[in-house]
Every structure is written in C-alpha cells, then in structure tokens.
Amino acid sequence: MTITRVWHGRTKAEHADEYLNFLMECGVPDYKSVDGNLSVEIWRRSEGAECHFWTVTKWDGYESIERFAGKDIGQAKYYPDDAEFLLEFEPNVQHYETFEF
C-alpha cells in the first residue's frame, strides 16, 4: 500500500517564487534522499496577498515516512530557512492510504 503525506504552508505572494526555489533546492532533495520515497509534488495556489503551498509525497509505507520525519510522523518537518518565508508553522501533516488504478 502507498501512503501519501500532505504538508501545507503559506507565504506572502511576493515570496512565492523564492519559496518554490527553496523547496526545490532543499526540501525536494531531502525527501528524495530517503529510501521508500516514491514521489514528490509541490502544489501552489495564489490567493490575493498570500500563496499556499502543499508538498505531496508518496511513500512505500509508514516506516519510510518515519525515516524522513522522525518517530512522530504526524508532526510537520521544517527547515531552518522556512522561517524566512512561512507566515505560520502548522504543526501537523496528513497521511492517506493511496490507491492508484
């Protein structure tokens, strides 16, 4: 079974491109470096003065997510430079059993 992990964050719209570049240079390689990571997608949507980001990753199981996120896989993982961009630090992520056909 595949597990999809979804993280959400918000930036000021004026920082959207810079944050996307940061995610591609720092976050994506970190996800992909973990055995059991199957894919990484970044979703982005602007809403006025803010921009929403979702990082959607697929994993081969909860054990692989734990190698990435630590023992509490429901807790969001942040990088030091996130503080330069994010408007808040949402504490949790969501996990979903994923079925593809």
pLDDT for res 56:
98
DSSP-derived letter for residue 86 is: B
pLDDT for res 1:
87
pLDDT for res 93:
98
List the beta strands (DSSP E) in 1-101: 2-12, 37-47, 50-59, 94-98
Mean per-residue pLDDT for 51-72? 98
Tally of domains within the chain: 1
Domain containing 39 — which CATH number? 3.30.70.100
What percent of the chain is modeled with pLDDT above 90? Answer: 98
Q: What is the mean pLDDT of the chain?
A: 97
pTM assigned to the model: 0.94
- Cβ distance 61 to 3 under 8 Å? yes
CA–CA gap between residue 72 and residue 6 (Å, rounded):
15
Residue ranges making up the domain that contains 27: 2-98
- Cβ distance 36 to 93 under 8 Å? no
Residue 12 gets the label, from left (phi > 0), alpha (psi -120 to 50) or beta, of beta
